[in-house]
Amino acid sequence: MASQELALKLQRRLQWEEVEEGGLQPAPGAALAPEHESPARAPTVCADAELSAQLNRRLDINEGTARPRRCKVFNPYTEFPEFSRRLIRDLESMFKKYDAGRDGFIDLMELKLMMEKLGAPQTHLGLKSMIKEVDEDFDGQLSFREFLLIFHKAAAGELQEDSGLMALAKLSEIDVAQEGVKGAKDFFEAKVQALSCASKFEAELKAEQDERKQEEEKRRLRQAAFRELKAAFST
134 and 199, same domain (yes or no):
no
31 occurs within a structural domain: no
Give the side-chain half-sphere CA count within 13 A for 127.
19
Q: 99-153: per-residue pLDDT in tens?
A: 999 999 999 999 999 999 999 999 999 999 999 999 999 999 999 999 999 999 9
**Do residues 165 and 128 lie in contact, with contact meaning Cβ atoms separated by under 8 Å?**
no
81 and 157, same domain (yes or no):
yes
114 and 173, same domain (yes or no):
yes
Task: State the pLDDT at residue 179.
Answer: 41
- 25 against 207, higher pLDDT: 207
**Do residues 223 and 229 lie in contact, with contact meaning Cβ atoms separated by under 8 Å?**
no
Residues 6+ apart with CB under 8 A from 92: 76, 144
6 occurs within a structural domain: no
The domain tally of the chain equals: 2
> Average pLDDT, stretch 206-214?
83
Instruction: Give 175's pLDDT tier (boundaries 50, 70, 90).
Output: very low
How many whole angstroms separate alpha carbon 189 and alpha carbon 209?
26
187 and 174, same domain (yes or no):
no
Instruction: Give 222's pLDDT tier (boundaries 50, 70, 90).
Output: confident
155 and 203, same domain (yes or no):
no
80 and 175, same domain (yes or no):
yes
222 and 168, same domain (yes or no):
no
- 40 against 159, higher pLDDT: 159
158 and 187, same domain (yes or no):
no
**For 106, phi and psi rounded to 5 degrees?**
-110, 110
**Do residues 104 and 144 lie in contact, with contact meaning Cβ atoms separated by under 8 Å?**
yes
Task: State the pLDDT at residue 56.
Answer: 73
The alpha carbon dihedral of 149, 151, 157, 159 has a sign of positive
> Average pLDDT, stretch 34-59?
59
pTM: 0.49
**For 81, phi and psi rounded to 5 degrees?**
-65, -15
Share of the chain above pLDDT 90, in %: 34
> Average pLDDT, stretch 154-161?
90
158 and 202, same domain (yes or no):
no
Q: 3-44: per-residue pLDDT in tens?
A: 566 667 767 776 666 655 555 555 555 444 444 444 444 445
89 and 168, same domain (yes or no):
yes
Range of the domain at 137: 76-179
Residues 6+ apart with CB under 8 A from 38: none
Helix axes 2-22, 45-63, angle to 10 degrees: 150
Task: State the pLDDT at residue 223.
Answer: 84
Q: 67-109: per-residue pLDDT in tens?
A: 555 555 889 999 999 888 989 999 999 999 999 999 999 999 9
Task: State the pLDDT at residue 183.
Answer: 38
